[in-house]
C-alpha cells in the first residue's frame, strides 16, 4: 500500500514557518524558549526523515543501506519527540530540581528511550524491529511493539505530570499542553487503521502551533526596551519557584538615582540608558546568561534568578555586575553615572513566599545604604521586617479598623517671630504585631492598594478636629501643615470634601496649609490642577514639599498658587560645601523674589539653624528644635517653649 506524503509536507511547512518566526522574534534568549526550540528542531528533522523513508518505500528503492539508515533514524528521532515534550513540560513547570532528586523519575525518563535506542542499533543485524524484504518492501518485525510501549510510558508520565502541576499553568496554557498530549494517541490510532494517511507528524505540528500561540508569546513575557522578562513574568515565575520549593539565588539590581536620571534625561533617553544597562548586565553574565532568568521590574530595578545548579556563582556574578555598572555610560555625548545597589536574596532561606519577594523586589527601599554596594537580604530583612513587608496590606487594613494610626506634630520655628507658630502633621502607624512602621514603607503600599484615600480622610479629620479644639486655640498657633499624596490630589471631589470639613469643624481656611510634593506638580491632569486651584480660591494656603528632590522646574513652581516652598533636608547637607552654598543662596533668593516663604527641613544642629536664619529663610523645622510629637506632648511643648 502506497503511503501519502502530503501531510508530512504540510507539517514541514508549518514547522519551518514556526522556526523562522522564533528566530525573527528572538525567542531563543532563555532556556524555556530554547526547550521549545529543541521540540521544533527535533520535529523538523523527524518529518524530513519520514518524508525520505516514505518516498524511498513508495519507489521500492534498491539502496537498502540508505533505507535502513533513514528508517532507523526516523524511529529513533520520532520516539524522542515525546520525551522532549516532557522535558519542555518540566521546564515550563520549573521542576527540574525535583526530577533530579527522584531516581524513579529519572529512570522513567531515560530507560524506555535507551531500550528503543539499543533495539534500533542492533536492528540491522537481527531485523526484529523491521526489515526490507526480498521484494524491497518495508515490513515491521516482532519487536516493533517496543516503540509503542515506550511511547505509551512517556505519554502516561507526561499526562500525569501535566495534571499534577496543573496549578502552575494559566488556564489557556494548560489546555494547550493538554491538547498536545491528546493529539498524540488520536493520531497514532488513525494511522493504525488508515496506514496510508501519515498524519502523526502533522498532528504534532498542529500541537506545536497551539503551544506557540498560547504559551510561547515573547511579547507578553519580555519587556520591549531591555528585552528582559516583564514584572508579571517575574511574578509568575517566582510563584512557580516557591510552589516547587526551588532553591534559588535572586540578584536584585537597583539604580538608586533612577528618578533623578529619568527627570533629567526624559522618556526616550532614559529608555536608551536602560537598554545600555541591560546590555552590560548581559555582558557581565557571560556564558551564565543562558541559565539565568532575567527580568526588568520597572523604576530602575533589574532582577536575575539563578537556579539550583548556579547557586555557587551568585556572589561572583554580583561583584562582576557591580564592577560593570560602576563605569559611566556614554549617552548623547554625556557621561551618565549610574549609582547601583545589588542585593542577594537566598530562597527559601531569606524569602520563602511570593508576596514578600514582590514587596522586596519592587517596593522596598534601602535608603540608609550607600550606592555601588552589595547587600544581603538577610541583613536588610531583620527583626521580622521580611514578614512585615509581606503583610503590609493586612497591617494597613488592621490599622484602619483597630485605630493603629495616629497623627504626630512637628513644631516649625518662625525666625522672624522667635517662636513656634506652626506645625506639620505627620502620620504614624504602630502595629500590635510589628510595632512602629516607617511611613516610607506603608505610605507607598497604601497608594498602591488604594487605602491612601481612607488614610487621607483620617488624617484630615484628626487635624481639623485638633485645630477646632480649645487646647489648640490656647496655643495661639497660626496653622498646621497637612501632606496630600498624589493619589489624593487625583480625587475629583477632594477640594469640595476639604471645604466641607472646614465648615463641619468651623475653622478658618487660613488655619490649614496643604502640602503637595514636587513630584505631584509634574502631573498635568486637569483633576489635580482643578483641585489645587479650587483649594487656593477657598483661601487655603498651599506649600510645595520636598523641593529639590526631583527635577526642579522653577517655571512650573511659579505657575502654581503656592505660599510656601519647603526645602528638602538634602539642602542642609549642601550648605557645608562652598560651591553648593552659592547655588543654595541663589535658589533662596529666586524663591523669595517670587514672594514665596521658605521652610527648611532637616535642621539638626544650632550651626545650621543659624546659617539658614542668616540666609533669610522664614521658617526652620528639624530635630534641633523637636522631633514629631504625639498631640498631648506637642501641646505641652508649645505651651512651655512659647511662654518662656
Q: What is the tens place of the pLDDT at every residue in 208-219? A: 888 888 777 666
Residue 518: its pLDDT value, please?
A: 56
Q: What is the tens place of the pLDDT at every residue in 379-418? A: 766 655 666 777 888 899 999 999 999 999 999 999 999 9
- Provide the total of helices (H) and of strands (E) in the chain, helices listed first: 28, 19
Of the two residues 60 and 493, the one the predictor is more confident about is: 493
97 preceded by a cis bond (ω within 30 of 0): no
Q: Which of 47-61, 330-344, 569-583, 598-612 has the lowest mean pLDDT?
A: 569-583
Residue 369: its pLDDT value, please?
A: 46
Residue 368: its pLDDT value, please?
A: 46
SS3 (DSSP) at 305: strand
Residue 551: its pLDDT value, please?
A: 44
Residue 40: its pLDDT value, please?
A: 93
In the 8-state DSSP scheme, what is residue 535?
Answer: H
CA 13 to chain centre: 38
Q: Which residues contact 559 (CB under 8 A, 6 or more apart)?
A: none
Is the Cβ–Cβ distance between 593 and 384 less than 8 Å?
Answer: no
Binning pLDDT at 50, 70 and 90, where does residue 577 land? low
Using CA atoms, how far residue 176 sits from 77, 222, 535, 633, in Å, is 23, 20, 56, 65
Q: What is the mean pLDDT of residues 345-359?
A: 82
Does 524 have pLDDT greater than 50? no
Alpha-carbon distance 317 to 306, whole Å? 10
Q: What is the mean pLDDT of residues 488-515?
A: 90
In the 8-state DSSP scheme, what is residue 198?
Answer: -
Q: What is the mean pLDDT of residues 419-424?
A: 94
Alpha-carbon distance 117 to 450, whole Å? 61
Using CA atoms, how far residue 564 sits from 241, 548, 558, 598, in Å, is 51, 14, 11, 6
Does 141 have pLDDT greater than 60? yes
Mean pLDDT of all residues belonging to the chain:
84
Residues 382-396 as b/e (b if ≥16 CB within 10 A, e otherwise) read eeebbebbbbbbebb
Place of cell 530635630: 623
Does 631 have pLDDT greater than 80? yes
Is the Cβ–Cβ distance between 413 and 625 less than 8 Å?
Answer: yes
CA dihedral 231, 237, 240, 242 (to 10 degrees): -70
Q: Quick one: which H or E segment has residue 566? A: strand 564-567
Place of cell 528566530: 23
Q: What is the tens place of the pLDDT at every residue in 83-122? A: 898 889 988 888 888 888 888 878 878 888 899 889 888 9
Q: Quick one: which H or E segment has residue 249? A: strand 248-255
Does 519 have pLDDT greater than 60? no
Residue 303: its pLDDT value, please?
A: 92
Q: What is the tens place of the pLDDT at every residue in 185-212? A: 888 788 777 777 788 888 889 888 888 8
Q: Which domains does the chain have, with CATH numbers?
A: 6-219 (1.20.1070), 222-389 (3.30.70.270), 404-642 (3.20.20.450)
CA dihedral 499, 502, 504, 505 (to 10 degrees): 170
Using CA atoms, how far residue 515 sits from 284, 496, 542, in Å, is 44, 17, 6
Q: What percent of the chain has pLDDT over 90?
A: 27
Residue 274: its pLDDT value, please?
A: 93
Residue 402: its pLDDT value, please?
A: 92
**Cα three-residue angle 513-519-525, rounded to 5 degrees:** 90
Residues 31-64 as b/e (b if ≥16 CB within 10 A, e otherwise) read bbbbbbbebbebbbbbbbbbbbbbebbeeeeeee
Q: Which of 341-345, 444-448, 576-580 has the lowest mean pLDDT?
A: 576-580
Does 361 have pLDDT greater than 60? yes
Place of cell 523538523: 44
Residue 546: its pLDDT value, please?
A: 66
CB count within 10 Å of CB 430 equals 12
Residue 518, judged by CB atoms within 10 A of its CB (0-12, 13-18, 19+), counts as: buried
Place of cell 520549593: 245
Cell of 620: 526652620
Q: What is the tens place of the pLDDT at every residue in 219-250? A: 667 788 888 888 888 988 898 888 888 899 99
Q: What is the tens place of the pLDDT at every residue in 246-295? A: 899 999 998 888 877 876 777 888 899 999 999 999 999 887 777 788 99
Q: Quick one: which H or E segment has residue 14? A: helix 6-24
String of DSSP letters for 26-91? TTTSSHHHHHHHHHHHHHHHHHHHHHHHHHHHHTT-S-HHHHHHHHHHHHHHHHHHHHHHHHHHHH
In the 8-state DSSP scheme, what is residue 371?
Answer: S
Alpha-carbon distance 254 to 342, whole Å? 6
Alpha-carbon distance 535 to 520, whole Å? 15
Amino acid at each position: 500500500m502506497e503511503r501519502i506524503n502530503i501531510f508530512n509536507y504540510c507539517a514541514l511547512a508549518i514547522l519551518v514557518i514556526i522556526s523562522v518566526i522564533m528566530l525573527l522574534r528572538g525567542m531563543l534568549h532563555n532556556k524555556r524558549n530554547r526547550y521549545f526550540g529543541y521540540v521544533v528542531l527535533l520535529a523538523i528533522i523527524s518529518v524530513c526523515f519520514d518524508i525520505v523513508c516514505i518516498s524511498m518505500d513508495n519507489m521500492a528503492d534498491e539502496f537498502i543501506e540508505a533505507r535502513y539508515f533513514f528508517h532507523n533514524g526516523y524511529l529513533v528521532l520520532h520516539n524522542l519527540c515525546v520525551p522532549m515534550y516532557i522535558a519542555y513540560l518540566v521546564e515550563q513547570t520549573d521542576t527540574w530540581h525535583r526530577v533530579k532528586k527522584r531516581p524513579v523519575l529519572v529512570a522513567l525518563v531515560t530507560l524506555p528511550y535507551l531500550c528503543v535506542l539499543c533495539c534500533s542499533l542492533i536492528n540491522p543485524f537481527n531485523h526484529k524491529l523491521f526489515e526490507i524484504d526480498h521484494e524491497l518492501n518495508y515490513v515491521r518485525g516482532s519487536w516493533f511493539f517496543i516503540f509503542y510501549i515506550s511511547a505509551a510510558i512517556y505519554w502516561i508520565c507526561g499526562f500525569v505530570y501535566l495534571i499534577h502541576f496543573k496549578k502552575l499553568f494559566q488556564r489557556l496554557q494548560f489546555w494547550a499542553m493538554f491538547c498536545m498530549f491528546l493529539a498524540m494517541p488520536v493520531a497514532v490510532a488513525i494511522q493504525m487503521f488508515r496506514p496510508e494517511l501519515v498524519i502523526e507528524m502533522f498532528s504534532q505540528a498542529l500541537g506545536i502551533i497551539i503551544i506557540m500561540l498560547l504559551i510561547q508569546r515573547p511579547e507578553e513575557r519580555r519587556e520591549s526596551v531591555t528585552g528582559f522578562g516583564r514584572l508579571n513574568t517575574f511574578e509568575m515565575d517566582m510563584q512557580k519557584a516557591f510552589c516547587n520549593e526551588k532553591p534559588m539565588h535572586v540578584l536584585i539590581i537597583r539604580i538608586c538615582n533612577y528618578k533623578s536620571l529619568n527627570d533629567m534625561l526624559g522618556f526616550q533617553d532614559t529608555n536608551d540608558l536602560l537598554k545600555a544597562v541591560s546590555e552590560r548586565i548581559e555582558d557581565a553574565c557571560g556564558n551564565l546568561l543562558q541559565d539565568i532568568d532575567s527580568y526588568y521590574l520597572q523604576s530602575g530595578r533589574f532582577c536575575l534568578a539563578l537556579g539550583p545548579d548556579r547557586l555557587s556563582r551568585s556572589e561572583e556574578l554580583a561583584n562582576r555586575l557591580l564592577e560593570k555598572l560602576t563605569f559611566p555610560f556614554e549617552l548623547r555625548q554625556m557621561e551618565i553615572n549610574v549609582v547601583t545597589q545589588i542585593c542577594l536574596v537566598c530562597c527559601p532561606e531569606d524569602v520563602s513566599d511570593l508576596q514578600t519577594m514582590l514587596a522586596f523586589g519592587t517596593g522596598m527601599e534601602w535608603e540608609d545604604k550607600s550606592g555601588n554596594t552589595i547587600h544581603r537580604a538577610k541583613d536588610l530583612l531583620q527583626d521580622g521586617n521580611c514578614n512585615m513587608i509581606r503583610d503590609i496590606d493586612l497591617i494597613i487594613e488592621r490599622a484602619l479598623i483597630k485605630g493603629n494610626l495616629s497623627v504626630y506634630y512637628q513644631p516649625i520655628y518662625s525666625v522672624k517671630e522667635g517662636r513656634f507658630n506652626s506645625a506639620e502633621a505627620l502620620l504614624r502607624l504602630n502595629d500590635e504585631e510589628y510595632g512602629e512602621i516607617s511611613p516610607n514603607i506603608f505610605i507607598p503600599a497604601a497608594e498602591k492598594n488604594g487605602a491612601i484615600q481612607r488614610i487621607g480622610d483620617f488624617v484630615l479629620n484628626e487635624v481639623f478636629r485638633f485645630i477646632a479644639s480649645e487646647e489648640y486655640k490656647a496655643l495661639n498657633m497660626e496653622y498646621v501643615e497637612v501632606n496630600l499624596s498624589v493619589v489624593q490630589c487625583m480625587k475629583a471631589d477632594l477640594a469640595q470634601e476639604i471645604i466641607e470639613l472646614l465648615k463641619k469643624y468651623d475653622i478658618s481656611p487660613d488655619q490649614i496649609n496643604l502640602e503637595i510634593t514636587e513630584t505631584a506638580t509634574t502631573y498635568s491632569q486637569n483633576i489635580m490642577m482643578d483641585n489645587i486651584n479650587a483649594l487656593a480660591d477657598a483661601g487655603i494656603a498651599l506649600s510645595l514639599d520636598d523641593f529639590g528632590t526631583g527635577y526642579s522646574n522653577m517655571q512650573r513652581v511659579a505657575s502654581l498658587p503656592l505660599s510656601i516652598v519647603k526645602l528638602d533636608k538634602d539642602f542642609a547637607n549642601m550648605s557645608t560645601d562652598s560651591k553648593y552654598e552659592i547655588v543654595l543662596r541663589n535658589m533662596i533668593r529666586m524663591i523669595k523674589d517670587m514672594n514665596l516663604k521658605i521652610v527648611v527641613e532637616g535642621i539638626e544642629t544650632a550651626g545650621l539653624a543659624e546659617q539658614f536664619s542668616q540666609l533669610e529663610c522664614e521658617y526652620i523645622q528639624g530635630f534641633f528644635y523637636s522631633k514629631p510629637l504625639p498631640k498631648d506632648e506637642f501641646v505641652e511643648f508649645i505651651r512651655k517653649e512659647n511662654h518662656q
